């Protein structure tokens, strides 16, 4: 069942949980997400970060499969463009049938971010799709030294949301993309203030590597969407390594794909269970 980001976040809000948003880069990843969600009987978000993963597979190729499999799923699925940074890419995703897009203008001056996000909001509205945007700055992969001055300011967030009409806000409060070098220090009070000031769901980027307890605390503070990719990819790579090391005979590509998918299903199910925040469907 294909639904919008706004609708899936409404479900999350009603149950005080967060929806898992899994980036995919292959058919195996899509299959793993859908299977995990159906086994857990829980809504999920399939997303593609073209800016990071377009080098592995074209948006037009994987996007069609994402939309088709989401539509055929037994549970609600949102298909989302992650970190869209230009209008052409965002329109291409909407033309493919994506039910949500993210415009990432976080590196731009505030006024330019507002203007661009407002345009993307109007474009998404034409397609009946939802929109996520970002305010604040998160560290890059492998760098967990965030600067407090780059964290999302709750009052600026209130102004940003009021002027853009977005459905969800990606905020910076201590997470980073990629592998953490040390234990992250999250600003839970900031999440609460952002949620209170904006009145819309908060999105956590850089969700891999956070403890279960901190995930649940973030959810209780107002996070309703959690992006998760790096550790699922790492664990799947580890599974392939273990398979290769334990195999004395031939290693076939199809066996590698099965190993990848099985690992990802387990990781995704574990994440979904945590993000459900002890809620049941």
Instruction: Please tell me whether 229 is known to bind a ligand.
Output: yes
Instruction: Please tell me whether 53 is known to bind a ligand.
Output: no
CA angle 87, 89, 93 (to 5 degrees): 115
Instruction: Please tell me whether 267 is known to bind a ligand.
Output: no
Whether residue 229 contacts residue 208, with contact meaning beta carbons closer than 8 Å, is answered with: yes
Sequence-distant (6+) residues with CB within 8 A of 170 are: 102, 104, 106, 132, 133, 134, 135, 136, 202, 203, 204, 205
Instruction: Please tell me whether 281 is known to bind a ligand.
Output: no
Q: How far is CA 138 from the centre of its chain?
A: 14
Instruction: Please tell me whether 207 is known to bind a ligand.
Output: yes
Q: Is 143 a catalytic residue?
A: no
| CA dihedral sign, ordered 94, 98, 100, 106 | negative
Provide the residue count of the chain: 281
Instruction: Please tell me whether 228 is known to bind a ligand.
Output: yes
Place of tokens 């976040």: 9
Instruction: Please tell me whether 48 is known to bind a ligand.
Output: no
Instruction: Please tell me whether 177 is known to bind a ligand.
Output: yes
Both tokens of 140, joined, read 């890059």
Catalytic one of 10, 41, 71, 82: 82
Binding residues, as ranges, are 83, 104, 134, 177-178, 205-208, 227-230
Binding residues for Zn(2+), as ranges, are 83, 104, 134, 177, 205
Binding residues for dihydroxyacetone phosphate, as ranges, are 178, 206-208, 227-230
Q: Which amino acids are annotated catalytic?
A: 82
């Amino acid at each position: 069942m294909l639904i919008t980001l706004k609708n899936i976040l409404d479900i999350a809000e009603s149950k005080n949980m967060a929806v898992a948003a899994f980036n995919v880069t292959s058919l195996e990843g899509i299959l793993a997400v859908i299977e995990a969600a159906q086994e857990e009987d829980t809504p999920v978000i399939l997303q593609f970060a073209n800016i990071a993963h377009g080098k592995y597979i074209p948006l037009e190729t994987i996007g069609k499969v994402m939309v088709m499999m989401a539509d055929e799923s037994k549970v609600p699925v949102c298909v989302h463009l992650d970190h869209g940074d230009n209008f052409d890419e965002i329109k291409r995703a909407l033309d493919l049938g994506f039910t949500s897009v993210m415009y990432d203008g976080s590196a731009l001056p505030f006024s330019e971010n507002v203007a661009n996000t407002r345009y993307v909001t109007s474009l998404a509205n034409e397609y009946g799709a939802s929109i996520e945007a970002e305010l604040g700055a998160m560290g890059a992969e492998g760098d967990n030294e965030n600067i407090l001055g780059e964290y999302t300011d709750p009052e600026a967030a209130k102004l940003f949301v009021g002027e853009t009409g977005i459905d969800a806000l990606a905020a910076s409060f201590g997470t980073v993309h990629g592998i953490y070098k040390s234990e992250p220090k999250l600003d839970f009070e900031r999440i609460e203030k952002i949620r209170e000031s904006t009145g819309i769901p908060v999105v956590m980027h850089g969700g891999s590597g956070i403890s279960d307890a901190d995930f649940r605390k973030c959810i209780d503070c107002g996070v309703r969407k959690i992006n998760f990719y790096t550790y699922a990819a790492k664990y799947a790579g580890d599974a392939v390594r273990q398979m290769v090391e334990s195999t004395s005979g031939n290693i076939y590509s199809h066996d590698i794909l099965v190993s990848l998918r099985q690992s990802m299903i387990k990781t995704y199910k574990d994440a979904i269970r945590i993000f459900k925040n002890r809620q049941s469907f």
